[in-house]
């Protein structure tokens, strides 16, 4: 559905995005992550045709964005971080106006968008009087009026309370049954909850692009035995163990290769075979926040 090939964007001597490539399949929900200034917004603008790349290209649904930006934009729903709202208009009038701009029949399109975002009770109220959360929902409503083939959502749950956030997550998952979704957010739990993949940027460069299931898989164990026993020395001759370190909290972190079931059995045999007590043996779970931190620390060390 979306193919970015060598995307680069420069502003004079400053390179905001450098040689970024990825491909996103139909129906995927992809989290676009990175610190402020990492290049997320620049990439989203290039994907939409709003900003031309200095080099590289983008193809959306088989259409080259630089050659036919309007054709791509017909199939695109976009929610920027700064909501594109007219505060003096009512919700209904604003969405009707947006539907006309999109070339769709307002009556049906507006009714469907309002129902999907649960805006019925606010439909006739001026946007200026709405809370941040309701304004956010109006922003999403305008993005889905024309039943887009792909959606780019920049901080879609910004300002929502927990109940609204859960509703928004469910809405995004429903939208993904007919659209490809790119979700930019600073909230790791958001990506954990609804995304299939994570793309992480740092300093304008792509540093990670993996499915969440693979990303969160672990090859590390936490092993706790009695104080005074050096597990690193005990495991030094085991070729399946690539690293053993003391975590400073009374346990050892052991990095292994090969199947986890076999590693579990091997580690248990080592410890009990030496006559040591085995108080704990378990896989170290990785959440997205720890992966994000690891990737950024590795990139910083490499630089």
Tens of pLDDT, residues 70-125: 999 998 999 988 899 999 999 999 999 999 999 999 999 999 999 988 899 999 99
- Using a 10 angstrom Cβ sphere, with 0-12 exposed, 13-18 middle and 19 or more buried, the burial of residue 236 is exposed
The lowest-confidence range among 174-183, 192-201, 211-220 is 211-220
Domain contains 75: yes
The lowest-confidence range among 158-167, 195-204, 266-275, 290-299 is 290-299
pTM for the model = 0.76
Which domain range does residue 268 map to? 220-285
Residues 67 and 31 in one domain: yes
Residues 79 and 148 in one domain: yes
- What pLDDT does 283 receive? 84
Q: Using N-to-C axis directions, what is the helix angle for 91-102 and 106-116, rounded to 10°? A: 120
Scanning 145-211, the segments in alpha helix (DSSP H) are 162-175, 188-194
* pLDDT band, very low/low/confident/very high, at 276 (cuts 50, 70, 90): very high
- What pLDDT does 248 receive? 83
Residues 166 and 240 in one domain: no
Instruction: Tell me the longest C-alpha to C-alpha distance in the chain.
Output: 77
Residues 181 and 233 in one domain: no
pLDDT at 302 over 70: no
Residues 184 and 251 in one domain: no
- Whether the Cβ atoms of residue 230 and residue 276 lie closer than 8 Å to each other: no
pLDDT at 38 over 60: yes
* pLDDT band, very low/low/confident/very high, at 182 (cuts 50, 70, 90): very high
Q: Of the segments 82-96, 146-160, 173-187, 210-224, which one has the largest average pLDDT value?
A: 82-96
Domain contains 266: yes
CA distance 115 to 296: 41
| φ, ψ of residue 89 in degrees (nearest 5) | -90, 155
* pLDDT band, very low/low/confident/very high, at 300 (cuts 50, 70, 90): low
CA distance 114 to 119: 5
Stretch 250-257: mean pLDDT? 89
Domain boundary (190, 215, 240) is at 215
CA distance 222 to 243: 12
Residues 10 and 121 in one domain: yes
Domain contains 7: yes
- Which residues partner with 10 through β-bridges? 15
CA distance 211 to 53: 26
- What pLDDT does 44 receive? 92
Instruction: Return the number of other C-beta atoms located less than 10 Å from residue 6's C-beta.
Output: 12
Give the pairing type, strands 150-154 and 180-184. Answer: parallel
CATH of the domain at 239: 3.30.70
Residue 300, both tokens: 């910083």
Domain boundary (215, 238, 273) is at 215
CATH of the domain at 183: 3.40.50.300
Domain contains 138: yes
Q: Which residues contact 231 (CB under 8 A, 6 or more apart)?
A: 223, 225, 244, 246, 252, 254, 271
**Overall number of domains in the chain:** 2
Domain contains 298: no
Domain contains 173: yes
Stretch 250-279: mean pLDDT? 89
């Amino acid at each position: 559905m979306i193919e970015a090939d060598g995307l680069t964007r420069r502003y004079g001597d400053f390179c905001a995005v450098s040689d970024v490539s990825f491909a996103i399949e139909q129906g995927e929900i992809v989290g676009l992550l990175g610190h402020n200034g990492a290049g997320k917004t620049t990439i989203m603008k290039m994907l939409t045709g709003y900003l031309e790349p200095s080099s590289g290209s983008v193809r959306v649904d088989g259409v080259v964005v630089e050659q036919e930006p309007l054709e791509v934009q017909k199939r695109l729903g976009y929610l920027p971080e700064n909501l594109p709202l007219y505060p003096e208009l009512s919700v209904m009038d604003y969405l009707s106006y947006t539907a006309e701009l999109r070339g769709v029949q307002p009556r049906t399109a507006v009714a469907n968008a309002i129902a999907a975002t649960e805006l019925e009770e606010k439909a006739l109220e001026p946007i200026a009087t709405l809370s941040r959360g309701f304004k956010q929902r109006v922003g999403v409503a305008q993005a889905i009026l024309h039943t887009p083939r792909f959606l780019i959502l920049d901080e879609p749950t910004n300002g929502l309370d927990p109940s609204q956030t859960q509703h928004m997550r469910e809405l995004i998952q429903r939208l993904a049954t007919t659209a490809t979704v790119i979700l930019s957010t600073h909230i790791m739990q958001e990506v954990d909850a609804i995304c299939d993949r994570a793309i992480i940027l740092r300093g304008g460069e792509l540093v990670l692009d993996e499915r969440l299931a693979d990303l969160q898989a672990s090859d590390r164990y936490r092993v706790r035995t009695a104080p005074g026993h050096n597990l690193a020395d005990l495991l030094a001759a085991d070729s399946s163990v690539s690293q053993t370190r003391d975590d400073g909290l009374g346990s050892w972190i052991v990095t292994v290769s090969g199947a986890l079931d076999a590693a579990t059995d091997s580690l248990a045999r080592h410890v009990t075979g030496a006559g040591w007590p085995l108080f704990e043996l378990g896989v170290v779970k990785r959440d997205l926040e720890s992966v994000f931190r690891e990737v950024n620390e590795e990139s910083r060390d490499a630089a």
